[in-house]
Chains A and B, each alone.
Chain A
Amino acid sequence: MVAAAAFVGLVLGVGALVLSLALLSGFQAHVRTRLAEEAPHVLVAPAGRPDFTAAEGAAAKLALLDGVVSVTPVVRGRGWITARGQAVPAVLVGREQRDGIRLDPAQARQLSILAGEDVTIVSSRTRLSPLGPVPLTASIRVTEVAALATGRKQPEAVLPAGMARRLFGLPEGGATGFELRLSDPEAAPAMALAVREALGAETTATTTWQEANRPLLLALRLERVAIFATVFLVVIVAGLNLAATSAVLAATRRGDAAVLTVLGASPRLLGRIFLFAGLLLGFAGTLAGLGLGFVLAVVLDATHAIPLPAELFALAHVPFRPAARDLLAVGAFSLVWSFVSSFVPARMAARVDVTEALRAG
């Protein structure tokens, strides 16, 4: 009965931990997928010079790299967006095949602008006029107000590449950088190395999507460790229950331990026998808990059992993604804790007072 309670406790503890980690993995995988979908996987920028010229053929060289799915030239600079007497500083990004300007909701809010209205872009570059240097300006229609990729520190306004080149004084075909999308987003760090090798390590700088979102990814990892440590407390309690069970087992089987001693069992062997009994319980509980957590996670995910308001979370249901490394980590920690919990009671059993135990019956 006592052993059954310890077993159930361990099963529930391990199962809860697996389920919690699967839930966390589900949400974190969603965040990473969105990051990888929306943000460029590798940003390529010039180092020690303002831009890439068309004559360099950098885009063609990048397109030839194995694993590169697309190369998008961008013209990036700083300026102001003005409308109705208001002006907001902005990071301006020029892209090919873009018609009109896309504003971030924060920018649109500050300017009280809606899609379909016109704004004026004021560049940080100037041209000489009879009155002296004046900033370069251009008028453009707002075609879209939408948030950009997750994890960007500053809001960006996206406008046609040709207009951006004029505003920032770049020649035809010039670019201040390239955005690469890869067939395997996780291979971005290796690709960054390959890019610097292809374009010249000293004149090229790269930023991977992991580097650009390092604080967020670090927070996700910390969250994972915190959840593991918190929910593992349940397993710790279950392990203490196992220790109590092992102690009860050692006490109730004291007579048997004494008989085994009389038959030639050494204290070390007795300790091993009782340790094995505790470990067997720990192993069975851990295995059953892993199975329970895994099956629950798979079923809850497959049946979309817990719905979410999609407009708030960009997800229609709570995702569960049980990962092999989580199962291995939970299993290993639980087994180690089972060992620790069974060790002391096993040592107690090994030091049985035979005379006393036989007298007690």
Chain B
Amino acid sequence: MPGEPLLVAESLARGFGEGEGRLELFSALSLTLGAGEAVAIVGPSGCGKSSLLHLLAGLDRPDAGRVLVDGKDWASLAPEPKARWRGEAVGFVFQMHHLLPELTAEENVALPLLLAGVADSAARAQARELLARVGLVRQATSLPRILSGGERQRVAIARAVVRRPRLLLCDEPTGSLDAAHAADVLDLLLGTARERAGALLLVTHDPGVAARCGTVLTLSSGGLVPA
């Protein structure tokens, strides 16, 4: 049962380039995501799925339209409060994990807390707790380069949810994994999203992954349509 809307995107338009070479990704895209919902967005490569996620996370500006997360419009926020709100409200999982190579698994997970001003010892304790939750407590002191692809992605998921964001945005989180690891990671994502985040929006090109979410939308012809 969907609750209050956590994410509202109204009439979004975004394109790249100028003049005849301009590529319009979408022109009037709208989307509403309520608490407790898990939505998958599918579509062919280059259709603008990642760009849409960046707009929803307030990392990019739409050419038109607006995005509200938990009632706050990204466009109305100055850089400092916008960064604070993003850290607090949004968890983001990348396809390529994007862990910082010089930091251990524990430090990577603790990083969002440290950026929010949490004390080092408390941040590390929470990070260890989450690493235990994703089955990586023994790898807490390992650097990303000695972890497997699946392990890195689990660390990235732990990092995304460590601040208990209400909105979890995932950009092809299983794209770089084999089937077995992809299934594990997806279980973890759906579980942690249900447990720690209010809503999950997942972008994927894999219909099998999309089918695990409650709602599947296709990004096509500049808008979202039910798959």
Which residues of A come within 8 Å of B, CB atoms? 255-256, 259-269, 354-355, 358-359, 361
Contact = CB atoms under 8 A, between A and B. Distances in A.
A358 B50 CA distance: 10
B197 to A, nearest CB: 15
Contact of A358 (B84, B98, B116): B98
Interface of B: 50-51, 54, 57, 59-60, 79-80, 82-84, 86-88, 92, 94, 96, 98, 100, 111-112, 115-116, 159, 163
Contacts of B50: 359
B79 A354 contact: no
A264 B87 contact: yes
B112 A355 contact: no
20 contacts: A259-B98, A260-B111, A260-B115, A261-B83, A261-B86, A262-B57, A263-B87, A263-B159, A264-B88, A264-B112, A264-B116, A265-B87, A267-B80, A267-B83, A268-B79, A269-B115, A354-B54, A354-B60, A358-B94, A359-B50
Contacts of B80: 266-268
Main secondary structure of the interface of B (DSSP, over half): helix
A268 B92 CA distance: 21
A268 B78 CA distance: 12
**A-B pairs, 4 with minimum CB distance:** A264-B87, A266-B83, A354-B59, A263-B112
A259 B87 CA distance: 11
Contact of A264 (B51, B54, B94, B115): B115
Given A267-B83, A268-B80, A256 B94 contact: no
A264 B60 contact: no
B86 to A, nearest CB: 5
Nearest to B156: A259
A266 B117 CA distance: 12
Contacts of A256: 100
Given A256-B100, A355-B59, A358-B98, A262 B79 contact: no
A140 to B, nearest CB: 86
A347 to B, nearest CB: 13
A31 to B, nearest CB: 54
Contacts of A361: 96
B98 A269 contact: no
B112 A266 contact: no
Contacts of B82: 266
Nearest to B165: A264
Contacts of A263: 87, 92, 111-112, 115, 159
Nearest to B54: A355
A272 to B, nearest CB: 12
A355 B60 contact: yes
A252 to B, nearest CB: 12
Given A259-B100, A361-B96, 13 more contacts: A256-B100, A260-B115, A261-B86, A262-B86, A263-B115, A264-B86, A264-B115, A264-B116, A264-B163, A266-B84, A355-B54, A358-B94, A359-B50
Nearest to A263: B112
B59 A262 contact: yes
B30 to A, nearest CB: 21
Contacts of B79: 266-268
